[in-house]
Structure 1
Amino acid sequence: MPQSKLLQPDYHQATKHSYLSVQIDPNYVDASTQPSAFKLYPKFYRRVKLNLNNPVHSFISLTSTVTLEKMYKESSQKLRVNPSAGALYPTEVYVQIRGIQGIVNGIYHLEVENNCLTLIYELIDDGLESYIIPGKSINGFIFLISCVYYRSSWKYKDRSLRYCWLDSGHHLGAIAASAYIHDQEIQFIFDFDKLALNADLGFENKEFISACAISGEVQEKKIRHLRLKVPFVCGTAYFEANEFIEDGYQKTSLLKSRQHKLVHPQFNFDKDKFFQTVWMRRSSRRFHKQSISQENYWRILQSVEQPIPTVNFEEIQIYSIVHEVRGMPPGLYKGKHLIKAGNFSEKTGYLCINQAIARDSAVTLFFVSDYINYQTAMQIAGFLGQRVYLVSNFWGIHCSGVGAFYDDETQEFLETNKDVLYAMAIGI
């Protein structure tokens, strides 16, 4: 275990599920008390309605748009390009735009419910670059992912620290997908002065920046910190603080992640079909125990193994429990290597807290890591989860993320000493 990991509180250990913990606290909530899932600034703020026929507007919109509205019991539920644990959507997107014709240089909030950009700060000689890439200027876009954590902690309590970061990673995946469709190069940054930026964005303790994505021309130019604090608007109708989550965020924000060379992925998907995949992506609620082809399974794994465009990195390893893949013996795999053979569908369902989607899937993937920075590792796991969603759906295979599992028992079954961060079920 890295020495730096021994020096930090173990937020993963503190949020583990076990058979006993789930029985003691089944986590029932009153749905009528759910916090708002949309953040809105006052009506007098300047807004830009996003026109999907404009390539710049389309690029921004597709990073965080509503793709389906459906009725659930007596209320409507707006589903988005990015999945979210419990459909609680704790993540928000802000985008700094500089040097783009027809748009005022400024920091905007992406108002998902109304598909528009809300100008919250106009730039002069200041900007986000000074917090993220000092000494540089970006002509183009700087996306910030934030977490309004009470939307998640309302239901999942301390464990929502995991879900906020997984959701943040999924949101980065949505940004990457939109960038690919619109021929924009993207780079993720996880290590920067998040705490100073939170303070100047006026977030208090109710929201926090988790990650950044930049897209545009990088220039050598000194940009100063924001000259004014941004007025704060709460992203929920009411708020209850969680000291564990706030401490976990602050402590992990001070740690450096592992570093590696920046390499961009190389995909060759039909972009019209890929756009439809992004728009139609859904989390499967059930599988039918049907098999998938080995060819498509390898395609999914190969896509997941493509580089992640960041220099801040935590390595994620993937274990697969194969149930129904034509031409492959069922069993536990690490990559293409069979660790132990057998039909483990019932065991997988049990490990995922008796969820049928893990039992009836064709394959259940588990992401594990021996990380330095827990916050970065969880976000990368979520980003890879978004890749699994989109690539699976592209090839006609359904998918669902699984954030709840018996941590220690799953780790023991996988025969690894690394932390299990996330699971993904794919199938028909």
Structure 2
Amino acid sequence: MNNNALSTIIAYHEASKHRLDGYAPGPGNLDWVNQPDPFRRYAGTQLCKLSLRAAPLQTPFSEVRSGRRQTLAAINLANLATLLELSLGLSAWKEYGGSRWALRCNPSSGNLHPTECYVLAAARDGLASGVHHYVSYDHALERRAEADSDWGSEFADGFVLVLTSIHWREAWKYGLRAYRYCQHDCGHALAAVSYAAATLGWRAQVLENWHDVVLAALTGVARTGEFAEHESEAVDVALWIGCGNAPKLLYTAQTAAALASGLNFVGQANHLSARHVHWAGIDAVHLAAERPVPHSSSLTLSTQWPPLAVIDCLQNADALIRQRRSAMGFDGVSAMPAERWFTILDALLPRPGLPPWEIWQRLPRVHLILFVHRVIGVTPGVYLLLRDKSVMSALRQAIREDADWAEVPGAPRHLGLFRLFAGDVRDTARLISCHQDIAADSCFSLGMLAEFETALNEGAWHYRELFHEAGMIGQVLYLEAEAAGLRGTGIGCYFDDALHSMLGLSGHAWQSLYHFTVGGALDDSRLRTLPPYAHLSGRKNY
């Protein structure tokens, strides 16, 4: 890989770490007047209002998670509307005092929502051919780019979704570290789309060869004059959504380039803030991690796993997806049975045919360091979950010599689950997660440990994909926690090197990229919950 790109990424990664003696560079005080608008809109575009679900989908979450294919839903505008609603749409409004804010099906760091979505569609059901931007507030598509009526014949049996990030939305609050959070959120969105597609019997696949330059042309984000300064978007990834595998034509960058050449863009992006703080380090790492045409990859796992363990959740998938919340606090007493903990961990193994992992045609590079507090039948302590057992030898050499590496009684043998250290680790978990009680008052918390150098040596763009993988793991944990009657929350604030030091790790071979916690949530009775789309008066099917 390019040595300059590698140096830039390493420099950014080190500079954006929180440390015990100081936090990563940030804004200091929040300029609330200039908090970015969470909804992107394009003035001067044609609006296509989407239907909202008239009735719940009769698709149990227990079947969706286990990969049981539902009856295929027709490829039409109404079902596309359902896909967008259950992946990127609003899930509720919260209200306290004079403040009101929206929640979405895809979680976001600080609820700031940097992720935007563009839909490439052939003409159908009253939707014109071209590129459309999804506005979650209105549950509508804006026609961002016009095209001939026969444009998009390559995907007449599906849709292409392109995800982008507005770095400023996260940088407003989190400063230099914001680039990491944008990539986490993209991973959450990828998994959310995969689960939503599965409720319809559809598949979602990454289009590997649709690289950044062509995606910027396809979505119009390369047209910087149509965006306010510092509010432009960065492309993340393109996805095929349909009843089966992506058509072979869509596997080539040439197809994407040809599609881009046939577009006529319209519209001007709304201003999100009046003033901005420019973080040059984010620009630098974004350029260094630009994704060229990658080599074709396939998911060839060194480990094969048995079918995913069945759970007793009776909820329909759409209801469970809509009820997902980020816990603000935990009760410190709730415990979970070991058997349910094992099923949650089992769902994190990247089985190729199951959502969300069928979307991710890469070897697993992220493993879990677990802080177990209240799992019935499991000794409290620090545990390791290997999502690919082939790295066990390397990790045993890297982790402290006094680690136990004890097998866990009752755990399925295929899990690759080991106890490293026994004992009460609540204070350690709290300290490492920026002194936050949520890491200690839960049933368990965790840090996601990535094969950092191995991934980067395969290409600079894998830096952001490591965060995508971590975000996908987070989305699985969110939904699995809900199915278990618990609640989860992502933790973006943690002391990177404090976790490494606890394990005895040095250098950049292994790096912690995201933390998470699951337990019995405390509800805030002061908050009022409102329906997600009650503000769309007169909209059919609400």
Provide the residue aligned with 1:276 in structure 2. 319
**Deviations for 1:2-39, whole angstroms, at most 9, x for unmatched residues?**
99985653132221001222399683313232010101
Provide the residue aligned with 1:427 in structure 2. 519
Which stretch shows the higher mean deviation, 120-129 or 154-163? 120-129
Q: Is the 8 A contact 1:366 1:421 kept in 2?
A: yes
Aligned residues between the structures:
422
Instruction: Supply the distance in 1 between the matched residues of 2:152 and 2:463 (Cα, whole angstroms).
Output: 24
Instruction: Supply the distance in 2 between the matched residues of 1:152 and 1:215 (Cα, whole angstroms).
Output: 28
**Offset of 1:141 from its aligned partner?**
1.2
Kindly tell me: are residues 230 and 43 of structure 1, through their superposed partners in 2, closer, same or farther at Cα, counting changes over 3 Å?
A: closer
Q: 1:79 aligns with which of 96, 103, 110?
A: 103
- Is the partner of 1:387 in helix, strand or coil? helix
Instruction: Supply the distance in 1 between the matched residues of 2:26 and 2:36 (Cα, whole angstroms).
Output: 21
Q: 1:300 aligns with which of 344, 348, 351?
A: 344
Superposed, 1:23-172 pairs within 5 Å as: 27-42=28-43, 45-53=46-54, 54-98=78-122, 100-124=124-148, 137=155, 139-172=157-190
**Which residue type is aligned with residue 113 of structure 1?**
Y
- Is the partner of 1:305 in helix, strand or coil? coil
Say whether residues 1:261 and 2:299 are aligned partners: yes
Provide the residue aligned with 2:429 in structure 1. 348
- Is the partner of 2:467 in helix, strand or coil? helix
Which stretch shows the higher mean deviation, 95-104 or 254-263? 254-263
Kindly tell me: are residues 161 and 126 of structure 1, through their superposed partners in 2, closer, same or farther at Cα, counting changes over 3 Å?
A: farther
Say whether residues 1:330 and 2:380 are aligned partners: yes
Kindly tell me: are residues 317 and 61 of structure 1, through their superposed partners in 2, closer, same or farther at Cα, counting changes over 3 Å?
A: same
Instruction: Supply the distance in 2 between the matched residues of 1:347 and 1:425 (Cα, whole angstroms).
Output: 14
Which stretch shows the higher mean deviation, 383-392 or 27-36? 27-36
Q: Is the 8 A contact 1:274 1:394 kept in 2?
A: no
**Deviations for 1:301-327, whole angstroms, at most 9, x for unmatched residues?**
001113322334551111111011000
**Which residue type is aligned with residue 465 of structure 2?**
T
**Offset of 1:212 from its aligned partner?**
2.1
Q: Is the 8 A contact 2:121 2:155 kept in 1?
A: no
Provide the residue aligned with 1:133 in structure 2. none
Instruction: Supply the distance in 2 between the matched residues of 1:39 and 1:24 (Cα, whole angstroms).
Output: 27
Kindly tell me: are residues 244 and 234 of structure 1, through their superposed partners in 2, closer, same or farther at Cα, counting changes over 3 Å?
A: farther
- Is the partner of 2:470 in helix, strand or coil? helix
Kindly tell me: are residues 211 and 414 of structure 1, through their superposed partners in 2, closer, same or farther at Cα, counting changes over 3 Å?
A: farther
**Offset of 1:75 from its aligned partner?**
2.1
**Offset of 1:380 from its aligned partner?**
1.1
Which stretch shows the higher mean deviation, 386-395 or 117-126? 117-126
Which stretch shows the higher mean deviation, 210-219 or 187-196? 187-196
Say whether residues 1:380 and 2:469 are aligned partners: yes
Identity %, equivalent residues = 23
**Which residue type is aligned with residue 233 of structure 1?**
A
Q: Is the 8 A contact 1:94 1:144 kept in 2?
A: yes
**Which residue type is aligned with residue 230 of structure 1?**
F
Say whether residues 1:242 and 2:279 are aligned partners: yes
Q: 1:315 aligns with which of 347, 357, 365?
A: 365
Kindly tell me: are residues 415 and 334 of structure 1, through their superposed partners in 2, closer, same or farther at Cα, counting changes over 3 Å?
A: farther
Q: 1:230 aligns with which of 265, 275, 281?
A: 265
- Is the partner of 1:12 in helix, strand or coil? helix
Instruction: Supply the distance in 2 between the matched residues of 1:332 and 1:78 (Cα, whole angstroms).
Output: 36
- Is the partner of 1:108 in helix, strand or coil? strand
Provide the residue aligned with 2:9 in structure 1. 9
Kindly tell me: are residues 369 and 235 of structure 1, through their superposed partners in 2, closer, same or farther at Cα, counting changes over 3 Å?
A: farther
- Long gaps (5+) in structure 1: 130-135
Q: Is the 8 A contact 1:410 1:420 kept in 2?
A: yes
Q: Is the 8 A contact 1:99 1:139 kept in 2?
A: no
**Which residue type is aligned with residue 213 of structure 1?**
L
Q: Is the 8 A contact 1:16 1:407 kept in 2?
A: yes
**Deviations for 1:195-226, whole angstroms, at most 9, x for unmatched residues?**
33224533226111112221125335556142
Provide the residue aligned with 1:132 in structure 2. none
- Is the partner of 2:447 in helix, strand or coil? strand
Which stretch shows the higher mean deviation, 154-163 or 210-219? 210-219
Which stretch shows the higher mean deviation, 202-211 or 107-116? 202-211
**Deviations for 1:207-265, whole angstroms, at most 9, x for unmatched residues?**
111122211253355561423453441462446343221221221123658943279x9
Q: Is the 8 A contact 2:160 2:241 kept in 1?
A: yes
**Which residue type is aligned with residue 413 of structure 1?**
M
Q: Is the 8 A contact 2:176 2:282 kept in 1?
A: yes
Q: Is the 8 A contact 1:189 1:311 kept in 2?
A: no
Instruction: Supply the distance in 1 between the matched residues of 2:280 and 2:290 (Cα, whole angstroms).
Output: 15
Kindly tell me: are residues 26 and 146 of structure 1, through their superposed partners in 2, closer, same or farther at Cα, counting changes over 3 Å?
A: closer
TM-score, normalising length: structure 1: 0.89
Instruction: Supply the distance in 2 between the matched residues of 1:65 and 1:409 (Cα, whole angstroms).
Output: 37
Q: Is the 8 A contact 2:26 2:175 kept in 1?
A: no
Instruction: Supply the distance in 2 between the matched residues of 1:142 and 1:69 (Cα, whole angstroms).
Output: 29
Say whether residues 1:207 and 2:233 are aligned partners: yes
Provide the residue aligned with 1:179 in structure 2. 197
**Which residue type is aligned with residue 35 of structure 2?**
Q
- Is the partner of 1:21 in helix, strand or coil? coil
Provide the residue aligned with 2:404 in structure 1. none
**Offset of 1:295 from its aligned partner?**
1.1
Instruction: Supply the distance in 2 between the matched residues of 1:128 and 1:316 (Cα, whole angstroms).
Output: 36
Provide the residue aligned with 2:483 in structure 1. 394
Provide the residue aligned with 2:329 in structure 1. 286
Provide the residue aligned with 1:251 in structure 2. 288
Q: Is the 8 A contact 1:385 1:424 kept in 2?
A: yes
Kindly tell me: are residues 73 and 350 of structure 1, through their superposed partners in 2, closer, same or farther at Cα, counting changes over 3 Å?
A: farther
- Is the partner of 2:288 in helix, strand or coil? helix
Provide the residue aligned with 2:210 in structure 1. 192
**Which residue type is aligned with residue 94 of structure 1?**
Y
**Offset of 1:103 from its aligned partner?**
3.1
**Offset of 1:181 from its aligned partner?**
1.3
- Long gaps (5+) in structure 2: 55-77, 225-229, 250-254, 352-356, 386-416, 457-461, 521-542
Q: Which has the higher contact order (CA 8 A, sep 6+)?
A: 2
Q: Bigger radius of gyration, 1 or 2?
A: 2
Kindly tell me: are residues 230 and 248 of structure 1, through their superposed partners in 2, closer, same or farther at Cα, counting changes over 3 Å?
A: farther
Q: Is the 8 A contact 1:181 1:271 kept in 2?
A: no
**Offset of 1:396 from its aligned partner?**
0.7
- Is the partner of 2:185 in helix, strand or coil? helix
**Which residue type is aligned with residue 178 of structure 1?**
A
**Which residue type is aligned with residue 286 of structure 1?**
G
Instruction: Supply the distance in 2 between the matched residues of 1:101 and 1:210 (Cα, whole angstroms).
Output: 28
Q: Is the 8 A contact 2:26 2:174 kept in 1?
A: no
**Offset of 1:409 from its aligned partner?**
0.7
- Is the partner of 1:62 in helix, strand or coil? helix
**Which residue type is aligned with residue 349 of structure 1?**
R
